[in-house]
């Protein structure tokens, strides 16, 4: 792998304990032109600045993302973590890094190639940034492979879980797997020769392949062939135990399918001697480029682009560490990929396969079983069969937190009840990501069949869910649902539902504003908030916003919503400036933010000004953070922390005032340029004092020194704090919340 370049700036702090990298910031993308449906509110200028903020005030977003994935890797390294969860975190790390190369690295390379890349806000030239990324990512991949081989794999073997090679099988086991190969694998394999009559084949992205060097038994001439491992085959093939002993019942052995294929290469190349074989894997540019302004039909344009995405240029080549140099040279030449983008690892490659191991039915090696509970405000109002969501929301606003509060008995029940209720006249819904068998989709179809007015705003450009969303958009259209694809030039990322119901005193609008997708499966894994309300102001706001998404309503204003790309950034900055004004008058002032990513320079600069004015600022961020906390004269009053664990922290919460007295908002927007400039996002102001207290408490506990978390320093280093000075484990916030929600439910039953 290519070492860091000599021209790296002197400021090069370690990424964390595992990897040494550097910090900077990527140049932000420019917003697209206004599109007619949204009036872009001019950005509020920052207060007059007596002294300019330092030029090096931003951390590099791409390196920050790699640091986030390193935090995932540290969980896999943690010996106190449940063993199968450690295997799962290794698989998550691998999947995350695949997407990073397919999108972020590929995008940077494309901008460099087209001359559109610019110097980052920290001063890095584009090629320098690419070198930095590849160097840091390479170190992380090395650490990933070593943690599996030296720590997790031996620990799995101690528990009777083995990933073994062909040579470790008994003769009878080889015979059994040989039969399976002949019957199930051999017929679907397609060996491809490479010679003057057979050009080098196309290698699909993320596929596992065998590079095979052959020698003609008669002539002695050397030949090369490529063999793709079919993705529909199980990657890890279980080896049945011959014994029924108690020990055997707790033993699981797997052989990577490529090992079985490699052992039978002679059947694929009769008359040839197999001299060498190695595994390799290519990552390609799989980001989509759709010029929507020029597309007469966005759906058709996206379908065409999806078919082209499979042929994006390579951005990474992973190879077996044992691969001979002459084979690697040939692959590099044919794939047109540079040496710095080639990474050697000990087989097996692609450790996403560890999800198979993590799924084993070994409860003692996993997180304790967890069942989401019906929210207490919904459980108190029940009909003969299920909770009456409308009655509960009429009584008072309801704030749910998934996965602790059940998605199926709250959000899903809300849509299903609306679809079945004859008093409901209309349902309007945004869909960004949803599952293939989503009950939300089924409920919308049922509602349309019942004659209700149903509007679905489907974001078909949700990355890597494009084809799934296209399929469900077609199904909704065929069922009579009014399907729209949002606003040209903007992704619709807001999480909104609106139900219009005829009641005795007139029409009432029931609303749900969430921080997460309407996805029943991820709702069990992602931490998110959702507000149910029938407040007339919120109902009016959602009606206006849906009209913007489906028709023409460019001059809409909102009471309890902040909406991007119009008022969201400026609205947050105004609230921050009020805290600055309080601090300048000697009053207590506080800003608390919980997001997935903190990148936007305008927001960060305002937080720096707030700190300089005396405002205490807490940022609880899961992933990327370009803000430097704790820097003298700049950000002494800013703390940045991160929590990773069993659930993916996904909610976005904004608190103004120590106890939220100056406003608390939740919604879909992260502090990134794409969210604030190129997406339709919505935050809603929370009004109920109970909910304000709950949201403030979540942020406060997340930032507490008694809670296990990672702390960001001003030099860009993340440090894990999971034990007290006395060596005692700090509180796992997610485990605490599981127990608290269970206790509330038990208390209600009593």
Q: Which of 6-10, 12-16, 391-395, 587-591 has the lowest mean pLDDT?
A: 6-10
Peptide bond into 675 cis (omega under 30): no
Residue (of 337, 333, 231) closest to 282 by Cα position? 337
Instruction: Give pLDDT tens digits for 673-690.
Output: 999 998 999 999 999 999
Q: Is residue 137 part of a domain?
A: no
Q: Is residue 302 part of a domain?
A: yes
Cα–Cα distance list, 398 to 392, 410, 505, 535, 560 (Å):
8, 10, 22, 11, 16
d(CA 397, CA 399): 7
Q: What is the mean pLDDT of residues 206-211?
A: 95
Q: What is the mean pLDDT of residues 38-48?
A: 42
| pLDDT for the residue numbered 409 | 94
Which phi and psi (to 5°) does residue 238 adopt? -70, 145
**CB 615, CB 637: distance < 8 Å:** yes
| pLDDT for the residue numbered 466 | 55
Instruction: Give pLDDT tens digits for 261-309.
Output: 999 999 999 988 999 999 999 999 876 444 433 334 545 554 454 444 4
| pLDDT for the residue numbered 41 | 36
Write out the two tokens for 642.
């991160």
Shared domain for 416 and 472, answered yes or no, is yes
Domain of 272? 160-361
pLDDT higher than 90, residue 470: no
**Residue 493 annotated in active site:** yes
Q: What is the mean pLDDT of residues 43-61?
A: 73
Q: Cα torsion for 606, 609, 611, 615, to the nearest 10°?
A: -80
Write out the two tokens for 86.
């450690």
Shared domain for 355 and 380, answered yes or no, is no
The stretches of 671-716 forming alpha helices (DSSP H) are 673-677, 689-703
How many CB atoms sit inside 10 A of residue 472's CB? Answer: 24
Residue (of 371, 417, 369, 376) closest to 524 by Cα position? 371
Write out the two tokens for 608.
């720096």
- Boundary of a domain, candidates 316, 332, 361: 361
| Top-confidence residue, 481 or 508 | 508
**CB 196, CB 274: distance < 8 Å:** no
Decide: helix, strand or coil at residue 55: coil
| pLDDT for the residue numbered 248 | 60
| Top-confidence residue, 695 or 44 | 695
Instruction: Give pLDDT tens digits for 439-468.
Output: 888 999 999 999 999 998 887 654 545 566
Element (H, E) at 366: none
pLDDT higher than 50, residue 505: yes
Q: What is the mean pLDDT of residues 566-572?
A: 94
| pLDDT for the residue numbered 459 | 77
Shared domain for 385 and 343, answered yes or no, is no
Shared domain for 272 and 349, answered yes or no, is yes
Q: Is residue 181 part of a domain?
A: yes
Number of domains in the chain: 2
Of the chain, the percentage scoring pLDDT greater than 90 comes to 68
Decide: helix, strand or coil at residue 244: coil
Position 746 confidence tier, pLDDT thresholds 50, 70, 90: low
Burial degree of 167 (CB within 10 A; 0-12, 13-18, 19+): exposed
| pLDDT for the residue numbered 475 | 78
d(CA 559, CA 211): 62
Position 385 confidence tier, pLDDT thresholds 50, 70, 90: low
- Boundary of a domain, candidates 555, 586, 605: 555
- Boundary of a domain, candidates 330, 361, 392: 361
Q: Is residue 441 part of a domain?
A: yes
Q: What is the mean pLDDT of residues 494-501?
A: 96
Cα–Cα distance list, 718 to 74, 78, 323, 329, 591 (Å):
11, 16, 35, 38, 22
Q: Is residue 132 part of a domain?
A: no
Q: What is the CATH number of the domain that holds 491?
A: 3.30.870.10
Shared domain for 252 and 316, answered yes or no, is yes
Q: What is the mean pLDDT of residues 398-424?
A: 96
Q: The pTM is what? A: 0.88
Chain-wide mean pLDDT for the chain?
86
| pLDDT for the residue numbered 19 | 36
Q: What is the mean pLDDT of residues 507-512?
A: 97
Instruction: Give pLDDT tens digits for 575-631.
Output: 999 999 999 999 999 999 999 999 999 999 999 999 999 999 999 999 999 999 999
d(CA 629, CA 638): 5
Instruction: Give pLDDT tens digits for 628-646.
Output: 999 999 999 999 999 999 9
Q: What is the mean pLDDT of residues 24-30?
A: 32
Q: What is the CATH number of the domain that holds 279?
A: 3.30.1840.10
Instruction: Give pLDDT tens digits for 119-155.
Output: 777 677 889 999 999 999 999 999 999 999 999 999 9
Q: Is residue 86 part of a domain?
A: no
Which phi and psi (to 5°) does residue 325 adopt? -60, -35
Q: Which of 28, 277, 493, 512 is catalytic?
A: 493
């Amino acid at each position: 792998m290519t070492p860091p370049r000599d021209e790296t700036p002197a400021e090069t702090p370690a990424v964390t304990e595992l990897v040494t990298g550097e910090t900077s910031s990527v140049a932000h993308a420019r917003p697209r032109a206004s599109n007619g449906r949204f009036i872009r509110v001019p950005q509020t200028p920052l207060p007059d600045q007596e002294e300019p903020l330092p030029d090096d005030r931003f951390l590099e977003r791409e390196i920050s993302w790699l640091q986030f994935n390193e935090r995932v890797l540290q969980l896999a390294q943690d010996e106190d973590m449940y063993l199968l969860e450690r295997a799962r975190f290794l698989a998550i790390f691998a999947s995350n890094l695949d997407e990073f190369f397919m999108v972020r690295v590929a995008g940077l390379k494309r901008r460099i190639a087209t001359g559109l890349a610019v110097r980052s806000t920290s001063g890095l030239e584009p090629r320098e940034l690419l070198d930095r990324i590849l160097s840091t990512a390479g170190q992380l991949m090395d650490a990933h492979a070593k943690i599996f081989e030296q720590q997790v794999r031996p620990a799995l073997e101690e528990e009777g879980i083995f990933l073994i090679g062909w040579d470790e099988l008994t003769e009878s086991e080889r015979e059994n797997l040989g039969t399976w190969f002949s019957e199930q694998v051999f017929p679907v394999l397609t060996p491809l020769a490479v010679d003057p009559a057979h050009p080098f084949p196309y290698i699909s992205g993320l596929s596992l392949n065998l590079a095979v060097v052959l020698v003609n038994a008669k002539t002695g001439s050397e030949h090369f062939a490529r063999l793709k491992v079919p993705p529909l085959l199980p990657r890890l093939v279980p080896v049945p135990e011959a014994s029924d002993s108690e020990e055997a019942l707790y033993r699981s052995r797997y052989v990577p399918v490529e090992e079985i294929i490699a052992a039978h290469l002679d059947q694929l190349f009769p008359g040839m001697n197999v001299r060498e074989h190695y595994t390799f894997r290519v990552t390609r540019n799989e980001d989509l480029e759709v010029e929507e302004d020029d597309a007469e039909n966005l759906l058709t344009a996206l379908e065409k682009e999806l078919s082209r995405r499979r042929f994006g240029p390579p951005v990474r080549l992973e190879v077996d560490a044992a691969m001979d140099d002459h084979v690697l040279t040939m692959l590099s030449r044919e794939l047109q990929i540079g040496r710095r983008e080639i990474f050697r690892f000990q087989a097996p490659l692609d450790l996403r396969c560890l999800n198979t191991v993590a799924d084993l039915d070994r409860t003692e090696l996993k997180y304790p079983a967890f069942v989401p509970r019906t929210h207490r405000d919904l459980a108190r109002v029940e009909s003969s069969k299920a909770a009456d969501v409308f009655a509960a929301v009429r009584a008072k606003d309801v704030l749910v937190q998934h996965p602790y509060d059940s998605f199926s008995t709250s959000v899903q029940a809300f849509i299903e009840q609306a679809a079945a209720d004859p008093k409901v006249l209309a349902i309007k819904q945004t869909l960004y990501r949803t599952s293939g068998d989503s009950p939300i989709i089924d409920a919308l179809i049922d509602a349309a069949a019942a004659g209700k007015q149903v509007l679905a705003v489907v974001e078909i450009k949700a990355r890597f869910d494009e084809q799934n969303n296209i399929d469900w958009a077609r199904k909704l259209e065929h069922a009579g649902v009014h399907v729209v694809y949002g606003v040209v030039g903007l992704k619709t990322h807001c999480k909104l539902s609106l139900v219009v119901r005829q009641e005795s005193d007139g029409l009432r609008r029931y609303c749900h504003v969430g921080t997460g997708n309407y996805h029943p499966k991820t709702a069990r894994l992602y931490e998110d908030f959702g507000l149910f309300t029938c407040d007339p102001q919120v109902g009016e706001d959602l009606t206006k916003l849906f009209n913007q998404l489906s028709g023409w309503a460019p001059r809409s204003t909102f009471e309890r919503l902040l909406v991007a790309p119009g008022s969201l950034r400026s609205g947050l900055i105004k609230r921050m400036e009020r805290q600055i004004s309080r601090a300048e008058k000697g009053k207590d002032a506080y800003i608390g933010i919980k997001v997935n990513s903190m990148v936007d320079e305008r927001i960060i600069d305002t937080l720096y000004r707030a700190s300089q004015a005396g405002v205490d600022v807490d940022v609880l961020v899961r992933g990327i953070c370009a803000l430097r906390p704790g820097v003298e004269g700049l950000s002494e009053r800013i703390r940045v922390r991160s929590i990773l664990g069993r659930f993916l922290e996904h909610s976005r919460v904004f608190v103004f005032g120590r106890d939220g007295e100056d406003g608390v908002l939740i919604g879909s927007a992260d502090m990134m340029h794409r969210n604030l400039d190129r997406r339709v996002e919505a935050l809603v102001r929370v009004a109920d004092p109970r909910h304000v207290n709950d949201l403030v408490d979540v942020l406060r506990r997340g930032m507490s020194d008694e809670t296990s978390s990672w702390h960001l320093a001003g030099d860009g280093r993340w440090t894990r704090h999971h034990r007290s000075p006395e060596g005692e484990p700090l509180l796992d916030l997610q485990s605490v919340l599981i127990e608290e929600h269970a206790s509330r439910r038990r208390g209600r039953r009593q």
